[in-house]
Structure 1
Amino acid sequence: MSERSFSEWLRRRCEPEWTSVVTHPFARAITEGTVPDAQMRRYLEQDFQFVDSFTALLGAAVASADTFEARVPYGRFLGQVATTEEKTYFHRALAELGGRTEVPLEPVTAAFRDLMDEVRERQDYLLIAAVLCVAEWCYLGWASRAEEPLPESFVHREWIDLHEGAEFRAWVAFLRGELDRLGAGLDDDLDAGRRAEVLGVFRRAVELERAFFDMAAGRS
């Protein structure tokens, strides 16, 4: 995808925050397998609290997408989240770390869930795609920086694997492609307000990703 694509336009206007997310010390520690158990437990406990809102957001994408070709990948990924590796990973990892699936929400977790719920309730496909793209593209950004050999602990290794590899890259490429397709129809002048609205949601999601890693690292 060219740097002139809409998704790239959005990402570039979120610098340096975007780079701070994908190079965050906590994310790097995951790829190195050096996150202390207590911090990894807190991080995964809070991340699990997104599962319901994230699943609902995928469902909203299926409902609000403007083409059948777009609905299919969302439906497929929705099934994966609900029934396959990621769901079982959380339960196995939290059991290994002595964590829980039901915990009080940290403020940043509540704020991110509120953003997901807000765009879902609006049924605005472009905004839904923007939030989903940030969540997945950011994670590919840090996970793709992992170097071999991956950590021995499955808690770190499988979390990296879930956010890297050909299948996940294709999923992120699809999300970016949807933003690019929809963004191509927005005129720089006539639709400036709409572009700014999408950028505002995209930027809020990036800022929350950064804050979530800061929380996990004990900076908040």
Structure 2
Amino acid sequence: MARPWETGFGAEGGLYRRLRAACAAEWEAYTWHPFVRAIADGTLPLAAFRRYLIQDYLFLIHFARAKALALFKAESVEAMRAKVSDIGAILSETLMHLRYCEGWGISQAEVLATPEAAETVSYTRYVIDRGLAGDILDLEVALAPCTVGYAEVALRIEHDPGRRREGNPYETWIATYAAPGYQALAQAAAARIDALGVSHGGEARFPMLSAIFSEAARLEARFWQMGLDAARGAAPEYEKARR
């Protein structure tokens, strides 16, 4: 029996689900990474989440740039209008993200003074490079693991038997991506991959598109791992924060 996160995005037989299935191992490593499982049960060290939050802000800046590139590469005026909306939403999200960081004791000055981690650089530049080298389908495929993947992560957490709700310090983060609004956004992104696959020769290009999707998923997993790596030796700080 198919699980909700396996069938909730993209059409059966469509390009999105085919890309996801073609990199099953990389996708599992990304969407059910130890970082994600620790968010689900509330045991993620604070140092790991703080590191992730700061780098996620820096990621968003380049995500907006990638969307701007998608505006340039867009196949129609209608698609261009959608990208303008996306860019505005992401830039507004950067402001909300800074306020969210403050709730975790991370000042705006600290966020802005932090350099990009190697994992942030490698992921964001890979996405932009795929967009510069290819067309709108190449770019959208490189972006999809982020947009759709986070929605899948939230669904997996919500259906996890070990899911902790009461007292989970990461409940607001989970709720953001499990919310109907974000789930609808992810569904639209998967549907766009399916549509572009038909209009832009996705079948003939599948091996290359699959390689792009797989690499983006791998880099997403590395982004989670970056947070865990920052938490090594930081357990006392986490326990102090929990008390």
Task: Place the TM-score, normalised by the shorter chain, in its bin.
Answer: 0.7 to 0.9
Residue type of the partner of 1:134? P
**Pair 1:195–1:82, CA change in 2 (3 A):** same
In the superposition, the TM-score normalised over structure 1's length comes to: 0.84
Q: 1:83 is matched with which residue? A: 92
Contact kept in structure 2, 1:44 and 1:90, CA below 8 Å:
no
Residue type of the partner of 1:163? Y
Contact kept in structure 1, 2:151 and 2:183, CA below 8 Å:
yes
SS in 2 for 1:27: helix
Which one of 212, 216, 220 corresponds to residue 223 of structure 2? 212
Q: Give the distance between the partners of 1:104 and 1:177, measured in 2 at CA.
A: 35
Q: Give the distance between the partners of 1:13 and 1:123, measured in 2 at CA.
A: 20
The two structures, once aligned, show a CA RMSD in angstroms of 2.5
Structure 1 residues not aligned, in runs of 5+ = none
Runs of 4+ in structure 1 displaced over 6 angstroms? none
Residue type of the partner of 2:181? E
Q: Give the distance between the partners of 1:151 and 1:78, measured in 2 at CA.
A: 35
In the superposition, the TM-score normalised over structure 2's length comes to: 0.77
Which one of 176, 182, 185 corresponds to residue 196 of structure 2? 182
Identity across the alignment (%): 24
Q: Give the distance between the partners of 2:102 and 2:156, measured in 1 at CA.
A: 24
Q: Give the distance between the partners of 1:125 and 1:187, measured in 2 at CA.
A: 11
> How far off is 1:184 after superposition?
2.1
Contact kept in structure 2, 1:53 and 1:116, CA below 8 Å:
no
> How far off is 1:20 after superposition?
1.8
State the structure with more CA Rg: 2
Which one of 86, 96, 101 corresponds to residue 93 of structure 1? 101
Which one of 30, 41, 45 corresponds to residue 36 of structure 1? 45
Q: 1:25 is matched with which residue? A: 34
Which one of 77, 95, 104 corresponds to residue 68 of structure 1? 77
Q: 1:172 is matched with which residue? A: 186
> How far off is 1:206 after superposition?
0.5
Structure 2 residues not aligned, in runs of 5+ = 1-9, 233-243
Q: Give the distance between the partners of 2:202 and 2:96, measured in 1 at CA.
A: 44
